[in-house]
Chains A and B, each alone.
Chain A
């Protein structure tokens, strides 16, 4: 397997980079959408029901069905794969981020307001740091889901490690399949470790356990 990696590094490495690239873009855009929506859900309870239902519904669509639905609009390629992942991530991210904001104790927010902080100051100085552990936990779940989900991007011509997997399977070249699987696993493990540290830090920060 190692030999294969060395021999074919010129195709494997770009696949790995592409895979990470797709995942990063997908998670970043997912977050940019989910964060404001979560804040809206928390601040305006009225929106919460509809947003939840929509997210639940979208999350329950199988990946290939989602691709099939998207292809007429977005065509084959990376875009379709990324859009699908963004849609899936909304459920996980909105659930976690909004829960993070809801868990900020009402008395703490009230105190901050009563001290004369404006809305923005309350949000940035109080709500975000206290919601951070769950925000990061949501990002962790979304990232892991995206890294594994991105392997299916190859099905719509999106590239990434999925391409190695699919061609490996088609050619019954198991070493290729094993290698792609292993790299996927390594990415997931590294991600988990990194997020674990971030989660831990933000939790200690939010609870005031830094020393």
Chain B
């Protein structure tokens, strides 16, 4: 059992002047190094749920614990420095260079210059921005996608205990968004961090999340793996929400592991092979192209991980 990174215990939030709870009786645990997406429509409470964690919004009642510590007991500024935060328009400081933006938290923590420089360089490489080309540029001279890369680098600067992302790719064109999503996943594999990611896009929630929190009316409707949310929606709302998207989007978003089952020697021998990092849509395509009833999934290490049956795909699409 992994460590619990973040725990909500009976959390309520009511904004001043409002007579309804934006977040109502939320209790859930987020495991360390999990990538959890919070999915919901506007007004569902998804952003409120996120922003209570770094105390941009203060909770009304209940407790939130980070690695077992009540966040209200911690010094707010000190605490926030160890929580990465990325928002829609990046929230970059327009009057600071890319380099200075990324160095914000290290500077607050009074790292020495050399260390800051090294870390900045490292982070820019991580988000694939060339250090020499970009370090002296200002946010306004960057594209939306580049700005978000800087935003992510800035949030990762001091190896945060938790990353909070509020629709970071919401205002970005589809092609760039898809690229950034892939890169975020790659980054997640590399840096191993607990990520809480708010989105209203069903596809994005499924694609990125190891687990999804579906929010509506301030309450958690379901908190489960993408596979279970798609196949076993907990209630009418979740069912309607996930059905609202394109059926094939589900395949595109789900990684092969969800349907991978053990295969015997004969199946391995006969089967067409597919790279384990691909998604279910590619498995379907491969089966259709080759008129096959199954494919063999190959892991990173070149070993067989198992098979995926056409019948399992059919069941998923029902």
A residues near B, CB below 8 A?
A: 105, 107-108, 110-118, 121, 126, 129-130, 205-210
A118 neighbours in B (Cβ, 8 Å): 77
Contact check, A114 vs B56: say whether CB atoms are below 8 A apart: yes
**When the two chains form their complex, are residues A107 and B91 in contact, meaning their CB atoms are under 8 A apart?**
yes
Which has the most chain A C-beta neighbours within 10 Å: B77, B83, B93, B140? B93
Residues of A within 8 A of B95 (CB): 129-130, 205-208
Distance in angstroms between the alpha carbons of A126 and B104 in the assembled complex? 11
- Beyond A105-B89, A208-B140, 15 extra complex contacts between A and B, CB < 8 Å: A108-B92, A108-B93, A108-B94, A110-B91, A111-B90, A111-B91, A114-B80, A114-B91, A114-B164, A126-B93, A206-B94, A206-B95, A207-B94, A208-B95, A208-B141
Q: In the bound complex, do residue B105 and residue A116 qualify as a contact, i.e. CB atoms below 8 Å apart?
A: yes
Report yes or no: A114 in contact with B54, Cβ–Cβ below 8 A: yes
Determine whether the beta carbon of A208 is less than 8 Å from that of B104.
no
* Cβ-closest chain A residue relative to B89: A107
Contacts of B89 in A (CB 8 A): 105, 107
A113 touches B139 (CB 8 A): no
Q: Interface residues of A: mostly helix, strand, loop or mixed? A: helix
A121: which B residues are within 8 A, CB to CB?
Answer: 108
Among residues of B, the one whose C-beta sits closest to the C-beta of A112 is B93
Using CB atoms, name the residue of chain B closest to A210. Answer: B138
Residues A117 and B77 in contact in the complex (CB < 8 Å), given A107-B89, A111-B85: yes
CB–CB A115/B81 < 8 A: yes
Shortest beta-carbon distance, B60 to chain A, in Å? Answer: 19
- Looking at the complex, which one of A108, A113, A129, A206 makes contact with B56 (CB distance below 8 Å)? A113
- Are B87 and A107 in contact, with the CB atoms below 8 A? yes
Cβ–Cβ < 8 Å partners of A208 in chain B: 94-97, 138-141
Closest Cβ of chain A to B96, distance in Å, is 7
B104 partner residues in chain A, CB cutoff 8 A: 112, 115, 117
Q: Does B88 contact A (CB under 8 A)?
A: yes
Q: Nearest chain-A residue to B140 (Cβ)? A: A208
Which of A112, A115, A130, A206 lies at the interface centre, i.e. has the most chain B CB atoms within 10 A of its CB? A115
Query: Interface 1/0s, chain B 52-87, versus A by CB < 8 A?
Result: 001010000000000000000000011111110101
**In the complex, which residue of chain A has the Cβ closest to the Cβ of B157?**
A115
Q: Looking across the interface, which residue of chain B has its beta carbon closest to that of A125?
A: B93
The answer for the CA separation of A114 and B151 in the assembled complex, in Å, is 12
**What residues of B have a CB within 8 angstroms of the CB of A110 in the complex?**
56, 87, 91
Q: In angstroms, how far is the closest chain B Cβ from the Cβ of A121? A: 7
Which 9 pairs from chain A and chain B are nearest by CB? A208-B138, A111-B91, A116-B81, A116-B80, A114-B85, A107-B91, A116-B77, A208-B94, A129-B95
Which residues of chain A are near B97, meaning CB under 8 Å?
208
- Return chain A residues, CB-CB under 8 Å to B105: 115-116
Cβ of A113: which chain B residues have Cβ within 8 Å of it? 56, 80
Asked if A116 and B78 make an inter-chain contact with CB atoms under 8 angstroms apart, the answer reads yes
A108 to B139, CA, bound (A): 12
A82 to chain B, nearest CB (A): 35
Which residues of the partner chain A approach B87 to less than 8 Å between Cβ atoms? Answer: 107, 110-111
A107-B87, A107-B89, A115-B80 given; A209·B54 CB < 8 A? no
Q: How far is the CA of A8 from the CA of B91 in the complex (A)?
A: 60
19 contacts between A and B (CB under 8 A): A105-B91, A107-B87, A107-B89, A107-B90, A111-B85, A111-B87, A114-B56, A114-B80, A114-B83, A114-B85, A114-B91, A115-B85, A116-B79, A116-B82, A117-B108, A206-B94, A207-B94, A207-B140, A208-B94
- With a 10 A CB-CB cut-off, give which of B90, B95, B140 has the most chain A CB atoms: B95
Q: How far is the CB of A19 from chain B (nearest CB, A)?
A: 36
> Contacts of A206 on B, CB cut-off 8 Å?
94-95
| A205-B108 Cα distance, complex, nearest whole Å | 21
> For A210, what are the chain B residues with a Cβ–Cβ distance below 8 Å?
138
| Residues 220-246 of B at the A interface (beta carbon under 8 Å) | none
Which residues 17-33 of B sit at the A interface, judged by CB distance below 8 A?
A: none
Task: Identify which of B83, B85, B88, B91 contacts A108 (C-beta below 8 A).
Answer: B91
CB-defined contacts of A207 to chain B, threshold 8 Å? 94-95, 138, 140
- Residues from chain A with a CB closer than 8 A to the CB of B141 are 208-209
CB distance from B53 to the nearest CB of A (A): 10
| A48–B54 CA distance with the chains assembled, in angstroms | 30
Instruction: Report how far A47 CA is from B79 CA in the complex, Å.
Output: 32
Closest Cβ neighbor of A121 among chain B residues:
B108
CA distance A144 to B23 in the complex (A): 53
CA distance A111 to B90 in the complex (A): 8
Q: Which residues of A contact B80 (CB under 8 A)?
A: 113-116
Q: Which residues of A contact B140 (CB under 8 A)?
A: 207-209
